Amino acid sequence: MSALPAKKIKISKNFSFSLMTNIPHPTPTPPQGTHDVSQTAAPDALRQREIRSFVRRQGKITSGQRRALQTLSTRWVVPFSGAPLPLEMIFANRNPVTLEIGFGMGESTAAIAQARPEMNFLGVEVYDAGIGALMQKAQARGLDNIRIIQDDAVAVVRHGLAPGCLAGAHVFFPDPWPKKRHHKRRLLKAEFVASLASRLRPGAALHIATDWPDYAQEILEVLLHEPLLINASPNENGYCPRPDYRPLTKFEQRGLRLGNPVADLIFLRRGSP
């Protein structure tokens, strides 16, 4: 019996594959713990999520971080399916929750959580190394007021968080995507900021820090045009001094030595607390 003919299907200039005709193919099942946006998002949200603010890549990870992922995830990592998150159940208390988006190696998140045990901190990160590093710090310091979601922050904010549920949100040093052709990947666009602002309770602060001047100006313009937010800055340039609760990380200290200025933007959700 001769083999079925194969069609060569062009996917892109760098990738192609052969597909056997007349053979049914099963519908792929999303991996456990991932968010199948096509099942829950509106068409506008689908279009927005076609361009992500991050690229999943296999970065360096230490043996300790890998071990933390294997042994500590059940304590600190929260599965996310795209459904609303029961924050009181996740933290087992009713303490106010601050969202930490893109916490990197977790240095700032761990320090802030340790200094504020009366608050809960929900960290959202996509990279294994950072998640492993934060869990190492949480275990070493006995921090039970941290939980972690490994997923896209856009999906978590839009689908996982109820309006007015957050006591604050931190976005420290988001990827600036410096090349002009990549600016579309920057996280803090008007649509996402509007979603994030709506999740803050009245009086809660959205705190953003960046060491990329043109991105700082772009973010400032977006925040100034968001009707739910008001600038807390006392300065004419619209930026705030670094508040004491945001620690100087090794990354930031290195940048300052190289002459890279850091802009802190703090905007408050309008309305009475």
Catalytic residues: 175
Q: Does residue 143 contact residue 165 with C-beta atoms inside 8 Å?
A: no
**H or E segment at 8?**
strand 6-12
Q: Which residue do the tokens 């990738």 mark?
A: 15
Burial call 34-47: b when 16+ CB within 10 Å, e when fewer = bbebeeebeeebee
State phi, psi for 177 to the nearest 5 degrees.
Answer: 40, 70
Query: How far apart are the two ends of the chain, measured CA to CA in Å?
Result: 76
Burial call 159-183: b when 16+ CB within 10 Å, e when fewer = bbbeeebbbbbbbbbbbbbeeeeee
Q: Does residue 87 contact residue 112 with C-beta atoms inside 8 Å?
A: no
